[in-house]
Amino acid sequence: MYESKGTEFHHAGEPFKGRALLERYGLRATRQRLGLAKLLFGKGDRHLTADALASEAQAARMPASLATVYNVLNLFAQVGLVRGLAIEGGKTVFDTNTSNHSHFFFEDSGAVCDIGPDCARFAEGIEAPEGYEISKVDVVVRLRPKNGGPAVVARHRLGV
Amino acid sequence: MYESKGTEFHHAGEPFKGRALLERYGLRATRQRLGLAKLLFGKGDRHLTADALASEAQAARMPASLATVYNVLNLFAQVGLVRGLAIEGGKTVFDTNTSNHSHFFFEDSGAVCDIGPDCARFAEGIEAPEGYEISKVDVVVRLRPKNGGPAVVARHRLGV
DNA sequence: ATTAATGCAAAATCTTTGCACTTTC
DNA sequence: GAAAGTGCAAAGATTTTGCATTAAT
């Protein structure tokens, strides 16, 4: 795909330095935050809901309570480590790529994936109303399976 | 602003024909649906949450229970009379303009308003993955008050 | 009459919060 | 040891659902 801001936190081969990352953002390095950061930033861009991350943490033997996962994700979003996306009414999806980019949303599976940076131009030419400035631009391209095609294939090809 | 799809349902001066509208979409013309349709389509484009609409209905002496408002809005969304927007995590905003257009979201006030159709070009040049087709494109430009400016002004100028 | 819609209250979700306990610095 | 974070359970908020009642064709 393309070089995302996420790679700022991870270089192939090198061990993931969660402690350094957290301290760079003025955050205390607690066990839970280190574990969640490793899952979030340890390997490429990710799109996760709070409970999905909690499950992963459970599976990876670095559990954190759901409340803590919410606290940590909200905190990370505040300092700019992740970005919250309101794609489907219910759950908030947290994206480790914090740059202004666009998303495909698969209506059948609920999967979310990045669209290349060429879509950055979306924001070009938009003028904010007087007294305001653009905080960020969210573009979601919603996809549905074409006619009767087996949509599941694309899900695996593109990942979540 | 611009000619929106919403005007399809309302022509200045003429009485609002809710019954005709509902029947055109194969929906039964119940008292509640007629009342809600009048509020939604009676005067220009609107961006409303379910409970805001319920409150309006209450005030306009054509009350409908919140459950019914949800049912009706979801039904209207299904048949294409309105479109649901997931802008902020919590509430779903229903937009009476069902065309692919873009929105300003005012982070301070929570207000939502349309951006002109020039933003339709956003969807141009995007190719759906194999087996999928684009269902719709949601573009939300999030705005924050510039420095210390009195942001409230813009809220009134632009409406909700 | 038949069929569908409404309203209420209860349930389901997702998220936040209060507070005692634990951890980090 | 002081300050901050965590976990639990409870509370909030939004949306959906089951079912008896009411309304529309």
Distance CA B160, CA B158 (A): 7
Distance CA A39, CA A33 (A): 10
**Protein CA A159 to sugar C1' C18 (Å):** 39
At residue A154, the pLDDT reads 31
The total number of residues written for chain B in this structure: 160
Quickly tell me which residue has 């559990």 as its tokens.
Answer: A63
A67 touches strand D (CB under 7 A): yes
Distance CA A124, CA A119 (A): 10
Distance CA A123, CA B15 (A): 40
Q: Does B20 have pLDDT greater than 50?
A: yes
Q: What pLDDT, in 10s, does the model give residues A52-95?
A: 999 999 999 999 999 999 999 999 999 999 999 998 878 999 99
SS3 of A32, please? helix
Q: Which positions ≥6 away from A76 have C-beta within 8 Å?
A: A37, A40, A82, A94
Mean pLDDT for chain A? 81
Q: Do A107 and B135 touch (CB under 8 A)?
A: yes
Q: Does B59 have pLDDT greater than 90?
A: yes
Protein residues in reach of strand C (CB < 7 A): A 28-31, 49-51, 66-67, 70-71, 74, 90-92; B 27-28, 30, 32-33, 63-65, 67-68, 71-72, 89
Q: Which residues does residue A139 pair with via DSSP β-bridges, in sequence order?
A: A102, B139
**Where do the DSSP E strands lie in chain B?**
47-49, 83-85, 93-95, 102-106, 112-115, 132-145
- Beta-strand relationship, B47-49 and A132-145: unpaired
Q: Which residues of B touch A86 (CB under 8 A)?
A: 86-89
User: Which contiguous run of DSSP H or E holds residue A59?
Assistant: helix A50-59
Q: Does B5 have pLDDT greater than 80?
A: no
Q: What pLDDT, in 10s, does the model give residues B76-113?
A: 999 999 999 998 878 999 999 998 788 888 888 888 88
Mean pLDDT for chain B? 81
Q: How far does the CA of residue B146 sit from the closest CA of chain A (Å)?
A: 5
Residues with pLDDT less than 50, chain A:
1-3, 7, 119, 149-160
At residue A108, the pLDDT reads 80
Plot region of B35 (φ>0 → left; ψ -120 to 50 → alpha; else → beta): alpha
The answer to whether B97 and B9 have CB atoms below 8 angstroms apart is no
Distance CA A81, CA A70 (A): 14
The total number of residues written for chain A in this structure: 160
The answer to whether A103 and A141 have CB atoms below 8 angstroms apart is yes
CATH numbers and ranges of domains, chain B: 18-86 (1.10.10.10)
Q: How far is CA A43 from CA A97, A115, B21, B32, in A?
A: 12, 18, 52, 52
Q: Which residues does residue A137 pair with via DSSP β-bridges, in sequence order?
A: B141
At residue B143, the pLDDT reads 83
| Residue B35 tokens, joined | 């009342």
The answer to whether B148 faces chain A, any CB pair under 8 Å, is no
Q: Which residues does residue A112 pair with via DSSP β-bridges, in sequence order?
A: A105
